[in-house]
Chains A and B, each alone.
Chain A
Amino acid sequence: MVTLKINGKSQQIDVPSDMPVLWVLRDVLGMTGTKFGCGMALCGACTVQLDGQAIRSCVTPVSAAAGKAITTIEAIGATAVGRKVQEAWIALDVPQCGYCQSGQIMSASALLARHARPTDADIDAAMSGNICRCGTYGRVRAAIKQAARSASTSGKGAKS
């Protein structure tokens, strides 16, 4: 039995401690927004956030996630950064087949939470682990920059 905090909600789950978070999310909890792509942390389709860090859930055992906050694509829109990222993704029509986009958005949101105005090198470093076979890279890059601009604009005047 492990206790996982997923999208703000703690729950007890009866799974082996070495079971990757990916399969707990998809097959045990039915949260299918997080995708399986390679099983070896090579493609990033399974990216979720663990205490705000982008991690590959296909190689992260639940034991390593216990006691930490897991955020998935289903809830990233509830964060200010995640919402901006999703808006930019829609504004630029980034997705094509869309299968990798949950992972792209989770990586991009983690990047923007850390770097409000990422450089191209920052984007390369944060996003090169996320493969897109539809080749949406140019739009992903543009959407990250747009989300950054939009976050800094809407942040002005708001005293928080």
Chain B
Amino acid sequence: MTPVSRREFVTVLAAAGGGLLLGYRVEGAQRVMSPATTAATNFTPNAFIRIPPEGRVTLVMPQAEMGQGVYTALPMLLAEELEIAPEQIQLEHAPPDNKLYANRFFGEQMTGASSSVRAFYEPLRRAGATARTMLVAAAAASWKVDPASCRAHKGVVTHTPTRRTLTYGALATRAAALRVPDTITLKAPKDFTLIGTPAKRLDSPSKVNGTAKYGIDVRLPGMLIATVAASPVLGGTVADVDDQKAKTVPGVRQIVRLDDAVAVVADHMWAAKQGLAALAIRWDAGPNATVSTADIVQGLAKASETPGVTARKDGDPESAFAGAAKKVEAIYEAPFLAHAAMEPMNCTVHVRKDTCEVWTGSQVLSRARAVAAEVTGFPLEKVVVHNHYLGGGFGRRLEVDYVAQAVRIAKQVDAPVKVVWTREEDVQHDVYRPYYYDRLAAGLDQRGTPVAWTHRIVGPAIIARYLPGAFKDGKDIDAIDGAVQLLYDIPAIQVEHVRHEEPVLNTGFWRGVGVTHNNFVVESFIDELAAASSQDPVAFRRALLGKSPRALAVLDLAAREGGWGKPMPRGRGRGVSLLYSDWGSYLAQVADVEVTGSGEIRVHRIVCAVDCGQIVNPDIVRAQIESGIVYGISAALWGEVTLNNGRVEQSNFHNYRVLRMNEAPPIEVYLRRNGEAPGGIGEPGTAVTAAALNNAIYAATGKRLRKLPIQPGLVS
């Protein structure tokens, strides 16, 4: 039992039409990724729970649902303490408002960085417990009995001795008149009846019958539909458009020209697409007109020769190298990646005389609103934004470029307009995972034990652009995540980041963020060290994990369940990887991979052991790990965006290949249960995958690959 003072967290507000409207504030925690903000002196709730007299509990969801299961996990947190069934909670997408719906990790309304459960684990339980305490008090008062003799269960308060009952709805208005209690008591984990159980997803029913509404499904009276071609080269502009033919396409209403894009507005997408194909656009490609991937790699390679900002330094690497018996060095590369969410980018906008209304799917609704205000010149309060289910986020919908573009188009259209990108536009105008170039070196002593480790990461600083307040002393907490926490017990460690921007493609967050690239690099290189000292990769890691019992436990679990050490047929190998990062979760993975005579790679089985602390819903944790692994395999085997003459060469799923049913291996997830703080789970499955595959290929072929995607030609 955890008594907590919650007066500052919860309040009762006037509810229109009666009932209980509970506001609560998410706070009391470090805002690790935002500039320090002054503590609010007045109570400002930042999320809401409504219990109207009709009784249906509504939770206004601050976080967006993009598949990761927050529309089930967060209601479970509330329901556990409120004593209702999750199915009794109705969910409502929150409107944009940083003051009300900030994610405490960022100080703004944001769904990302595998943070939803971590950010709301306590606040939602507190809010639920407060509401339940007040509802019970209201029932006790109306029966003139001791609240201790009453019990709340499934939305009903029962006076146990007399079996009288009142529903939450019937009690809501009366509860709202009560004073908010000074202290409430949260359940001890041993008393949880919901948290930790595989409760059913609340969004499944609407997602199997076509009724779930995504941004792309918005329909409004008089709405037109547009599709767009932006400059194929970043920084390019429209030089000239011949739209004579496009205007003759039946259903085409209007051609909208922007500085860097042309849109065709039509009655339906088919006309818009045909109209776009009929346009003759001459582009002024601008300064990036001749850039190719090789130029970018050359720039990164050159930058890698200079020192960067030191993110971690233990001991004295220089003298440790001097005393080492053996030095191992390697360069690793990871390519640009597109997100390729299933729902192509889209945004519906209606710009009226002095208001702007936006319908979309966004991970950062306040940013969507702010950019719409900026583009229209309207004050924020004149901009309304409606969120929807996201047909995949993966970090792509942390950006609002597509919202800004849609508003720019809509300013020229005298009707609501839904701007839908084709898949080609989506792949070629993504905000890509950056290209990274890493230099590593390690010193081994005579027994093959590592005595020095240096890791120089070369790539952009996304944080400097995206969360400038969190970019301190030149340190990008994203670029170094998953590298700086190196758990291996090595006396001399140096991790550096060389910031190198290549502004020929927009780059941003991609599932697994900095960790996805760093884990590939670190866990491949530690495998190299095991090989250099002729040791088994699991045994080699184990020996260095004396100070990390949670890491050791997942490693042992994955090794055991993955059949580590058992004989394999020729051409097959097992690879292992281990992950720990700012998400607070520990993962270990064993991949079983075959390399055929023709160099084709088949993933036969993946075993993943997970310790993410307190589990809210084990089935959603499993689903997220399965999901992350499939996303990670696609990227490791084939994911690559390349540039030629400044243009992205990939365009659709035929040349931006992703894993399909016939290629997807069986995935086994093993969960460790403990009482540690909840860790993030949406991304680590992706991040831990590439190294396990890469190490399995080494085990199968004896060839060490240091560049993604895994090139079949290199291993045949």
Chain B positions within 8 Å of A100 at CB level: 342
Which residues, 81 to 99 on A, are CB-close (under 8 Å) to B? 86, 89-90, 93-99
Residue of B with least CB distance to A100: B342
Among A37, A38, A128, A138, the residue within 8 A (CB) of B660 is A128
Closest to B625 in A: A135
Docked-complex contact A96 and B627, CB < 8 angstroms: yes
Chain A residues with CB below 8 A from B391, complex form: 35, 97-99
Contact of B250 among A16, A73, A99, A139 (CB under 8 A): A16
Residue of B nearest to A140 (CB): B661
Which A21-38 residues sit within 8 Å CB-CB of chain B? 23, 26-28, 30-38
Q: How far is the CB of A126 from chain B (nearest CB, A)?
A: 9
**Does B390 sit within 8 A of A, measured CB to CB?**
yes
Distance (Å) between the CB of B344 and the closest chain A CB?
7
| A132 / chain B contacts, CB cutoff of 8 Å | 342, 630
Residue A124 contacts which of B422, B659, B662 (CB distance < 8 angstroms)?
B662
Find out whether the CB atom of B626 lies under 8 angstroms from the CB atom of A138.
yes
Question: Among B204-212, B326-334, B468-476, B521-529, which stretch is in contact with chain A?
Answer: B204-212
B50 at the interface (CB under 8 A from A): no
Nearest opposing residue in chain B for A103, CB measure: B342
Q: For residue B343, which residues in chain A have a CB less than 8 angstroms away from its CB?
A: 35, 37, 97, 99
Bound-state CA distance A102–B217 (Å) is 13
Instruction: State which of A39, A96, A123 has its C-beta within 8 Å of the C-beta of B67.
Output: A96
List of B residues within 8 angstroms of A90 by Cβ: 200, 204-205, 208
Within 8 A of B (CB), among A1-60: 15-16, 19-20, 23, 26-28, 30-40, 42-43, 45
Q: Are B342 and A34 in touch, CB under 8 angstroms?
A: no
Mark each residue of chain A from 55 to 86: 1 if its CB lies under 8 Å from any CB of chain B, else 0: 00000000000000000111011000000001
What is the size category of the interface that chain A forms with chain B? 35 or more
Q: Are A123 and B652 within 8 A (Cβ)? A: no
Report whether A97 and B664 are in contact in the complex, using a CB–CB cutoff of 8 Å: no
User: Which size class do B's interface residues fall under?
Assistant: 35 or more
* Surface stretch bound by A, among B182-190, B267-275, B459-467, B502-510: B267-275
The reply to whether B664 and A138 form a contact with Cβ atoms under 8 Å apart is: yes
Q: Say if the beta carbon of A113 comes within 8 Å of chain B.
A: no
**Is B372 engaged at the interface, CB distance under 8 Å to the other chain?**
no
Assess whether B423 is in contact with A39, with CB atoms less than 8 Å apart: yes
CA distance A74 to B212 in the complex (A): 11
Contact A134 B269 (CB under 8 A): no
Which residue in chain A gives the minimum CB-CB distance to B206? A98
Q: Select from chain A the residue with minimum beta-carbon distance to B251.
A: A16
Chain A residues near B393 (CB-CB < 8 A):
97
Among the listed B207, B654, B664, which residue makes an inter-chain contact with A98, where contact means beta carbons less than 8 Å apart? B207
Interface contact A38-B423, CB-CB below 8 Å: yes
Instruction: Assess the A32–B619 pair: CB atoms within 8 A.
Output: no
Is A101 in contact with chain B by the CB < 8 A criterion? yes
B631 and A39 form a contact (CB under 8 A): no
A-B contact count (CB 8 A): 178
Residues of chain B within 8 A (CB-CB) of A39 are 273, 422-423, 652
Which B residues are CB-close (under 8 A) to A129?
660
- Interface check B172, CB cutoff 8 A: no
Residues of chain B in range 608-648 having any CB-CB distance to chain A below 8 Å: 619-620, 623, 626-631
Of all chain B residues, the one with the shortest Cβ separation from A26 is: B269
The distance from the CB of A74 to the nearest CB of chain B, in whole angstroms, is 5
Interface membership of A136, Cβ < 8 A = yes
Measured CA separation A136–B626 after assembly (Å): 7
Interface check B715, CB cutoff 8 A: no
B216 sits at the interface (CB 8 A): yes
A97 proximity list for chain B (CB < 8 A):
65-67, 341-343, 389-393
Contact B201 A93 (CB under 8 A): yes
CA distance A93 to B653 in the complex (A): 26
Q: Is the CB of B204 within 8 A of A95?
A: yes
Q: Given the known inter-chain contacts A28-B268, A93-B204, please indicate yes or no for A38 contacting B209, CB distance below 8 A.
A: no
From residue 193 to 224 of chain B, which have CB atoms closer than 8 A to chain A? 200-201, 203-214, 216-217, 219
The answer to whether A23 and B619 have CB atoms under 8 Å apart is no
CA distance A23 to B268 in the complex (A): 7
Please tell me if the beta carbons of B392 and A133 are within 8 angstroms of each other in the complex: yes
In the complex, given contacts A19-B268, A99-B214, what are 18 additional A-B residue pairs having Cβ atoms less than 8 angstroms apart? A32-B216, A33-B210, A36-B344, A36-B420, A37-B423, A38-B652, A42-B652, A42-B654, A95-B203, A99-B342, A124-B661, A125-B662, A128-B662, A131-B342, A131-B653, A133-B340, A134-B630, A135-B631
The 6 closest A-B pairs by CB, nearest first: A33-B210, A135-B630, A99-B391, A98-B207, A97-B67, A96-B67
Chosen A-B contacts, 5 in total, with CB atoms closer than 8 Å, are A37-B342, A93-B619, A99-B392, A131-B653, A139-B626
